[in-house]
Amino acid sequence: MSPGTGKLDRTRKLPIFARAGVGHVWIVDPLQRTLEVLRLQGSQWLIVGSWADDERVRAEPFDAIELELGILWADVQLG
């Protein structure tokens, strides 16, 4: 997620993805160091998990693989 597009991503893009039948969305925010996973259920998005910092996660639909979040923002420069 880009700092300037968070609102657009959630208010405009998620409905488009739902209409297109996209099954999952990962919202990765490197500045906040968070991962949020949403699953399409009917026509609504259900938050199935939220993680932060250096957690190790198994996130849908790739839950067969453990992901170490700290690797995602190892090179991110804060403020």
Residue 18 belongs to a domain: yes
Over residues 13-60, the pLDDT tens digits come to 999 999 999 999 999 999 899 999 999 999 999 999 999 999 999 999
What residue numbers bound the domain in which 67 lies? 6-71
Residue 3: predicted pLDDT:
63
Residue 79 lies in a domain: no
pTM summary value: 0.87
Residue 1 in this model has a pLDDT that exceeds 80: no
Reported as a pLDDT band with limits 50, 70 and 90, residue 79 is: low
Any domain includes 31: yes
Nearest partner of 14 among 31, 2, 27, 3, judged by Cα: 27
The amino acid at 40: L
User: Per the structure, how many domains does the chain have?
Assistant: 1
Q: What is the 3-state secondary structure (H, E, C) of the chain?
A: CCCCCHHHHHHHHHHHHHHCCCCEEEEEECCCCEEEEEEEECCEEEEEEEEECCCEECCCCCCCCCEEHHHCCCCCCCC
**pLDDT (0 to 100) of residue 2:** 65
